[in-house]
């Protein structure tokens, strides 16, 4: 697997800004147009506000006529009112709409990436870390990453204000500007130090956030709630949760403390800076080197100029924070898939189905693990063959299945479909060849028909759904429901939904596999919660309903898969024995040994219940 790039070092500040602006432009072009208008109004409005008193004083002291006075002051006042209305409207868009639109866009981006990325990447620790960091940037519509246009507007207003007001002040005395700029540089350094510490704690905060998210989710799950109550785990869980929360708060407090000291430094600098500037201005007025109107105008300009400097520092720092967050977002979104998602070899069809599946020297290790989960596996599954993959828990059975159905890619060796290596097929087209039923059966928040077809209602074949319900044995349950197959599932989301039992979910999963009607069916221990006899009966039913297809059954109970043509016995992450049940029993190896052990314990468990002794 390609190494993740948690730092995202290839993303520059400029490229991150362009990424954010392009995203806003695609979402709603008019938003950026209003941002430009907001910059113009944001600079001119306060300038007219400090210019008006100077105009009034100058006109009065120079003996202007009433008509001239009304024309100048009235015109300035009308312009002020218009700009004030424009600024109020554009500020509403810039301060609220920008972040909201970006948040909606981020939800779409995250959903598309999560739904379409290689399944293998979802389990990669580096990708999980990237997703956690991106998730914090996506957390709300108020994050810096979601408000790049707003930050640019504020920065631009401050920069243009700095230039405009600076030209006014420098005309009075250059020393005032120099003193103000030096204090701004000191202030920038203190903010930069705080930001540097915030970046240094990024990984620690991401780890703590993941822990808190997991624990919070666990506390809300009904499945976990039973154990918490029955085993009196509440106090222990609370201690773990609040302990982790305290660690997170400690880190956040240290970050806040550094920003607080930076703000205190800014306040002290403002006091010294403005005091010295005003003292010089008063001296110039007393010396007669500036007029009273100039004094009022420049006095206000110095205060505003100081605000522009502080604003430049603050918004530049905010833009850098936004860039850091955007780097995390882009690093997650740009993380490359290994699978073929473009033009590819045509899938087998017609008489080529079901295809032969071959693994040649396949090995696989999970990320960050030094031990192989699968080691040098070479097998061939013939077209239409029923095979079982059995062995103890942790032997590598599920890993092997995920490799066969394309969820994982081998790190060594090759997997072939017919005579074509699977990497040459389009990933999503390759998935269409498999109907899979895993142990954890996932229900969609829609009706029963949609859960079976895995399609929207308008494209679901209702007759085919009913046929699959009948074949899977779930039709009796469905016919008792008022809305039949249109009954909603998942009560957590739908108030009128029903909850299916474990056995009913298994039947629904079978109906789903039958509806897809793929040439290869894979059952990865979906009946592990059942007793061996019930599991064997379910597997037999699957075998009857999928005749003519290639079928792969996974179980750690050896007796459940005796009907298969061949059995692959896994031990220590490799396939160590292959053959039919009878052949492996005659071999007297690890399969036979484990079978006898399981048969013994099961016989002890069921003896006397119904007068029969079962071997499985």
**524-556 pLDDT, tens digit each:** 876 665 666 666 667 777 777 777 889 999 887
Residue 245 located in a structural domain:
no
Q: Are residue 265 and residue 401 in the same domain, yes or no?
A: no
Q: Is the pLDDT of residue 84 over 80?
A: yes
What per-residue confidence (pLDDT) applies to 613? 38
Total domains present in the chain: 2
State the Rg of the chain over Cα.
35
Range of the domain at 371: 352-606
What per-residue confidence (pLDDT) applies to 103? 79
* Distance of alpha carbon 276 from alpha carbon 287, whole angstroms: 17
Q: Are residue 373 and residue 462 in the same domain, yes or no?
A: yes
Q: Are residue 60 and residue 100 in the same domain, yes or no?
A: yes
Query: Quick one: average pLDDT of 572-598?
Result: 93
CA 139, 141, 147, 151 dihedral sign is: negative
What per-residue confidence (pLDDT) applies to 226? 63
What per-residue confidence (pLDDT) applies to 534? 64
What per-residue confidence (pLDDT) applies to 283? 82
| Boundary residue ending a domain (333, 366, 392) | 333
| Boundary residue ending a domain (333, 361, 394) | 333
Query: Quick one: average pLDDT of 83-109?
Result: 83
Query: Quick one: average pLDDT of 115-124?
Result: 89
- Between 58 and 512, the more confident residue is 512
CATH code (residue 88): 1.20.1560.10
248 and 212 Cβ atoms separated by less than 8 Å: yes
What per-residue confidence (pLDDT) applies to 531? 64
Q: Are residue 538 and residue 392 in the same domain, yes or no?
A: yes
Q: Are residue 442 and residue 475 in the same domain, yes or no?
A: yes
What's the pLDDT band for 494 if we cut at 50, 70, 90?
confident
**132-187 pLDDT, tens digit each:** 888 888 877 778 888 888 899 999 999 999 898 888 888 877 877 777 777 777 77
**Average pLDDT along the chain:** 84
Residue 542 located in a structural domain:
yes
- Between 500 and 305, the more confident residue is 500
Considering the chain, what percentage of its residues have pLDDT values greater than 70? 92
Query: What's the 3-state SS for 166-203?
Result: HHHHHHHCHHHHHHHHHHHHHHHHHHHHHHHHHHHCHH
Residue 212 located in a structural domain:
no
Kind and range of the H or E run holding 585: helix 581-587
Q: Are residue 323 and residue 367 in the same domain, yes or no?
A: no
**427-441 pLDDT, tens digit each:** 999 999 999 988 788
Residue 226 located in a structural domain:
no
What per-residue confidence (pLDDT) applies to 591? 93
Q: Are residue 359 and residue 324 in the same domain, yes or no?
A: no
Q: Are residue 268 and residue 413 in the same domain, yes or no?
A: no
Any idea which of 56-60, 317-321, 495-499 has the lowest mean pLDDT? 56-60
Q: Are residue 390 and residue 314 in the same domain, yes or no?
A: no
Question: How many residues are present in the chain?
Answer: 616
- For β-strands 566-571 and 574-579, DSSP reports them as antiparallel
Q: Are residue 275 and residue 372 in the same domain, yes or no?
A: no
Flag whether the pTM goes above 0.85. no
Q: Are residue 294 and residue 396 in the same domain, yes or no?
A: no
Residue 541 located in a structural domain:
yes
Residue 17 located in a structural domain:
yes
Q: Is the pLDDT of residue 512 over 50?
A: yes
Q: Are residue 573 and residue 468 in the same domain, yes or no?
A: yes
| Boundary residue ending a domain (333, 364, 397) | 333
CATH code (residue 509): 3.40.50.300
Q: Strand 412-417's sheet: what is its strand order?
A: 374-381, 357-364, 412-417, 420-421
Query: Quick one: average pLDDT of 577-603?
Result: 88
Pinpoint the alpha helices (H) of 427-480: 427-431, 448-453, 462-472, 475-479
Q: Is the pLDDT of residue 615 over 80?
A: no
Residue 213 located in a structural domain:
no
């Amino acid at each position: 697997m390609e190494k993740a790039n948690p730092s995202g070092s290839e993303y520059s500040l400029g490229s991150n800004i362009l990424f954010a602006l392009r995203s806003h432009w695609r979402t709603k072009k008019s938003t950026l147009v209003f941002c430009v208008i907001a910059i113009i109004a944001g600079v001119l409005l306060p300038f007219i506000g400090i210019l008006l008193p100077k105009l009034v004083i100058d006109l009065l002291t120079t003996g202007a006529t009433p008509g001239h006075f009304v024309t100048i002051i009235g015109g300035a006042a009308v312009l002020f009112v218009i700009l004030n209305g424009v600024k109020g409207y554009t500020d509403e868009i810039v301060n609220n709409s920008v972040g909201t639109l970006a948040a909606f866009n981020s939800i779409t981006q995250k959903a598309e990436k999560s739904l379409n990325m290689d399944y293998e990447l979802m389990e990669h620790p580096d990708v999980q870390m990237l997703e956690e960091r991106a998730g914090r940037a996506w957390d709300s519509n108020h994050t810096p990453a979601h408000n790049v246009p707003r930050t640019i507007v504020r920065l631009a207003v401050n920069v243009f204000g700095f230039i405009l007001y600076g030209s006014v002040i420098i005309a009075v005395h250059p020393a005032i500007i120099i003193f103000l700029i030096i204090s701004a540089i000191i202030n920038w350094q203190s903010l930069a130090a705080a930001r540097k510490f915030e970046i240094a704690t990024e990984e620690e905060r991401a780890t703590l956030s993941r822990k808190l998210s997991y624990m919070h989710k666990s506390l809300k799950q009904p499945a976990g709630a039973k154990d918490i109550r029955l085993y009196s785990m509440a106090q222990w869980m609370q201690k773990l949760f609040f302990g982790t929360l305290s660690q997170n708060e400690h880190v956040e407090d240290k970050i806040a403390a550094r920003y607080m000291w930076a703000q205190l430094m800014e306040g002290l600098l403002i006091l010294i800076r403005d005091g010295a500037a005003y003292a010089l201005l008063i001296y110039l007025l007393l010396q007669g080197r500036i007029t009273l109107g100039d004094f009022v105008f420049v006095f206000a300009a110095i205060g505003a100029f100081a605000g522009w400097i502080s604003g430049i520092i603050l918004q530049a720092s905010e833009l850098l924070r936004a860039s850091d967050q955007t780097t995390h977002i882009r690093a997650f979104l740009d993380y490359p898939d290994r699978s073929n998602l473009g033009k590819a070899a045509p899938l087998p069809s017609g008489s080529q189905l079901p295809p032969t599946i071959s693994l040649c020297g396949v090995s696989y290790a999970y990320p960050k693990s030094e031990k192989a989960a699968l080691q040098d596996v070479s097998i061939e599954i013939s077209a239409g063959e029923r095979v079982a993959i059995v062995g103890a828990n942790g032997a590598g059975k599920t890993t092997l299945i995920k490799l066969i159905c394309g969820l994982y890619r081998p790190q060594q060796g090759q997997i072939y479909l017919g005579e074509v290596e699977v990497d040459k097929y389009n990933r999503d087209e390759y998935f269409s060849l498999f109907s899979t039923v895993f142990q954890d059966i996932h229900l969609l928040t829609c009706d029963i028909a949609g859960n079976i077809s895995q399609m929207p209602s308008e494209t679901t074949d209702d007759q085919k759904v009913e046929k699959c319900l009948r074949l899977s044995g779930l039709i009796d349950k469905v016919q008792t429901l008022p809305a039949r197959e249109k009954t909603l599932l998942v009560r957590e989301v739908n108030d009128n939904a029903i909850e299916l039992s474990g056995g009913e979910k298994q039947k629904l999963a079978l109906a789903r596999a039958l509806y897809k009607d793929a040439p290869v069916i894979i059952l990865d221990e979906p009946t592990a919660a059942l007793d061996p006899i019930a599991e064997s009966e379910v597997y037999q039913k699957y075998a009857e309903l999928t005749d003519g297809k290639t079928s792969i059954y996974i179980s750690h109970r050896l007796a459940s898969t005796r009907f298969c043509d061949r059995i692959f016995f896994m031990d220590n992450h490799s396939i160590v024995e292959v053959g039919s049940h009878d052949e492996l029993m005659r071999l007297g190896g690890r399969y036979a040994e484990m079978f006898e052990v399981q048969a013994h314990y099961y016989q002890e468990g069921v003896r006397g219940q119904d007068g029969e002794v079962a071997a499985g």
